[in-house]
Amino acid sequence: MSMHVVLIAAVGAGLGALLGGLKSCPDGGCPLTANPWRGAIWGGVLGLFIGLSSGSGIKAEPPAGPVSANASWQEVTTPEGFQREVLDQRGVTVVYFHADWCGVCRRYGPVLRRVADDTAGRARYVSVDADAAEALAQKYRITALPTTLFFSNGELRGRLVGGVPEDTLLGAIAKAEQEAASESTASEEKANV
């Protein structure tokens, strides 16, 4: 990634210097075209901005498949897979909606991975690429990424939008666990009556 950013910044600086050399702004009021030095500086800054915002092909974290030794992840792209891996499951399921181009997703992924390691056996983890599974993203009204959904016994119980701290994530999982436990207790009592 860093080589990609440096290359784009260098190209921007070169183009800015070229524009500055043309001196199409003789009064000096235009930052790119007043002189070659100013053109190079502003072109480099603009190139750096473009390079950093382009994402340079880095995959969002966590990638498909297992991402840690303790927790296993399921990648879901279809409504049928979502039904099987989330809605038909007992207990807590954490669903992570992300996209490859999402910078916040890349920063949030390691946090989610640590929490998954800490809660392995207490919760299932499902990863959904919002671009590959647009129907699911629309159904669950995913309007910002990353979005983490919490299901308890197949029912949506909570939602966190954006990259959240580890303690917030752990609190949401604990709440979903409590709801799953109270739901199980209520159904057991109902069966015994």
Residues taking part in catalysis: 102, 105
- C-alpha 122/C-alpha 144 separation (Å) is 27
- C-alpha 132/C-alpha 156 separation (Å) is 21
Say if residue 118 is exposed, middle or buried (CB neighbours under 10 Å; 0-12, 13-18, 19+).
middle
- C-alpha 177/C-alpha 29 separation (Å) is 62
DSSP state letter for 60 = P
Contact 74, 123 (CB under 8 A): no
DSSP state letter for 34 = S
C-alpha gyration radius of the chain: 24
